[in-house]
Amino acid sequence: MFEKMIICRCEEVTYGQLLLTVKRHQCTARELKLRTRAGMGFCGGRTCRVSLDRMIESVIPNTPLCEIPLKYQPPVRPVSFGTVGEAK
């Protein structure tokens, strides 16, 4: 049921693809990102990073989260509408 649910919207990576990769390769968050491209889209992992970490944690117990920390890539940064519309 959940296999076709899209976790990474930017790269259209499904829960099933991620789960299969984690189980097959017993990988870290960084390796999962490189193997599936999840977290490499326009948002830089802002929407799927927590899900990726939790999947690894559930499949591989005692895995240190963020062993090699994933980072958010520019130019995407949250900006409030007030900041954008501010007159200088």
Average pLDDT over residues 47-51: 86
Model confidence, pTM:
0.68
Per-residue pLDDT tens digits for 55-66: 888 887 776 655
Residue 8, judged by CB atoms within 10 A of its CB (0-12, 13-18, 19+), counts as buried
- Report domain extents, the chain: 6-84
Q: Which of 46, 19, 59 is nearest to 35 (CA)?
A: 19
Helices and strands in the chain, H and E counts: 4, 2
Output the average pLDDT for the chain.
80
pLDDT at 82 over 70: yes
* 28 compared with 35, residue with greater pLDDT: 35
